[in-house]
A and B are shown apart, each in its own frame.
Chain A
């Protein structure tokens, strides 16, 4: 190659093709997808909690994308919820879909663990709730105080006995409360398919059960039907 213009032009054309395929077309395809009617907007407390989630890199271990196929084939049976669809992320900028499951998927953690006490205690010391857990203890989101020094209005965390020394008490900092509000709000268990789509999917599933050999094909068709 002797011509630097040909080099640069060629390089930019190949990148433009990639950009068109991976950004422009998805942009056009998804920009008018409406939010599901049942999807709640975040409260300010939850939005602050979402920032805490991001700031502490929770995404490094937790996904937010239950699925029904591929690596997510066991998700619904683990109680992690239905497969997520693009519209579920309508209010998420950016979506925190994640790439790792060192910990479980959290897209429906608010359904599985509705209790604020559980979340606060688990954040303070995960191993007091899930023996063998490798989740870090988020001590810095809490204050350890002596029983008598707790001020009025402070959120005292109720912990399993033995988690802190006798006479000590754990108080949640505002960040911990925001984070828990966000986690409690993670509920994506509303239906996302319209009546027609449900019927079509049911037909496909029935056909798939009859035609045992075509299982893989059926799976893909259902996936393609997602809005």
Chain B
């Protein structure tokens, strides 16, 4: 049998299996709003927006928008249920705070490293006397501080905070999560220090050696354990969409990391396919599902309206789980890897349009009639921006995997821009939104300077726009120069220079925004008085066990 036929048969067969599986989980073919979507609301709470990051005026505006859209006036939520949620929030406060605070620190570190790396691409003689400040190392520090610092700690902090609300049970094993977070940070400090002095495995996204990586594996499992404990004690019959994504991601990440880090197994080109299996799946099966889990929680919560379609959620989740896992080899198009593998990855990359459309349609239907809320909810602005960028990033990725487009973009800065569309426009913006929502509940105090939230938003949106536009244009011009053998290689360098300067400008604005965010984070922490009663907090976390 020829390989194409075999590949096609496997593909069709697995698709049939996948859709049969999804079919077995469906509820009513086109039923809107199956019971599952209401899990995140207490009885009588639908129609009541929750926006801890908003001020009094914004709350009034959100409520009047919700009233206008819902013909039935919202009823009151029972005091009992509010108490239960308050207890859930208290139980997760300390572990969530530790995770998010660490994430903010790593965001600042990563921004500084990223900005320096960006500037060095057009000022190659800047700071060349110290090895640890050289471009290759600073860029790697930036990538790892984002990939193992800011993004996972931020997302896990939000996940730990939302899980007790989603399962309607207090957090169990909070202290394990705190220990896990400390181990994780220890691993990251060791890993980044190692990269700075030149300890590097030579694989992108996996630069930190396995001896240090063990700390991530153990720390990550400790952070994930509370989820397993809580699932057994949950007070809800139905698992909400966010729990699917979070739960799957917490199982996917350790598997990915451990398989990638087994010493002595991987060799030669197989190691390259493994590298991109990991590199793309850590995006697709870890950051993406955790971010989608946040959107599925915060977006309906802020507007006080359940997600519209259960079946679309189901379709989106399982097709993401299936297709995303196999897209990684599109990073090796044209390379010395088996051709069938590249074809498979291109096909699955294009299939990713299914989960993306399912997700986007679902969010659009949910938000329909409530778009005004964007003007009044700081959380929703970030979350909505992130959701839209997810759609853009994923659709762009599908097209970028096509051989014709890939020929232009493959080895260029366009790929870097694409990575930031996903990791920044989507993931980071969702984390910002989640942090703005969760922190006032975690510390039991409002954000001290609402104006800083708006400043942060507009700085990073402006900076990100400049970043994306300049780097994408520069990347395409670079790719066209590389493809044309009649033009000297140096053309592809010269043509990118003005656009790389533009990227540095965008990056500066983003970094400025992050400093505003970090400052505001320090301000809310100080205002809450939590620093004065640090003695009491571990006890609080312990009493939750």
Contact = CB atoms under 8 A, between A and B. Distances in A.
B251 interface: yes
Interface of B: 14, 21, 25, 36, 120-122, 124-125, 128-131, 134-137, 139-140, 198-204, 231, 237-239, 244, 247-248, 251-252, 255-256, 259, 266-277, 281, 285, 314, 318, 321-322, 325-326, 328-329, 331-339, 341, 344-345, 403, 406-413, 415-416, 479, 482-485, 489-490, 492-494, 496-497, 500
A29 interface: yes
B412 A22 contact: no
Contact of B336 (A6, A8, A78, A83): A83
A54 interface: yes
A8 B251 contact: yes
Contacts of B332: 97
Contact of A17 (B256, B276, B325, B413): B325
Nearest to A140: B131
Contacts of A78: 485, 489
B479 A71 contact: yes
Interface residues of A, number: 80
B134 A15 contact: no
Contacts of B231: 4
- Best-surrounded residue of A1, A54, A77 (most CB of chain B within 10 A): A1
A224 interface: yes
Interface stretch (A61-69, A113-121, A145-153, A198-206): A61-69
The 6 closest A-B pairs by CB, nearest first: A57-B136, A18-B325, A55-B198, A70-B334, A71-B410, A101-B411
A93 B131 CA distance: 24
A52 B200 CA distance: 10
Contact of A1 (B198, B244, B484): B244
B411 A100 contact: yes
A102 B314 CA distance: 42
Contact of B128 (A74, A83, A85, A139): A139
A45 B267 CA distance: 22
A1 B415 CA distance: 37
Nearest to A100: B411
Contacts of B334: 65, 67, 69-72
Contact of A99 (B36, B121, B274, B415): B415
Contacts of B36: 1
A189 interface: no
B269 A22 contact: no
A146 to B, nearest CB: 18
B321 A10 contact: yes
Contact of B484 (A8, A74, A224): A74
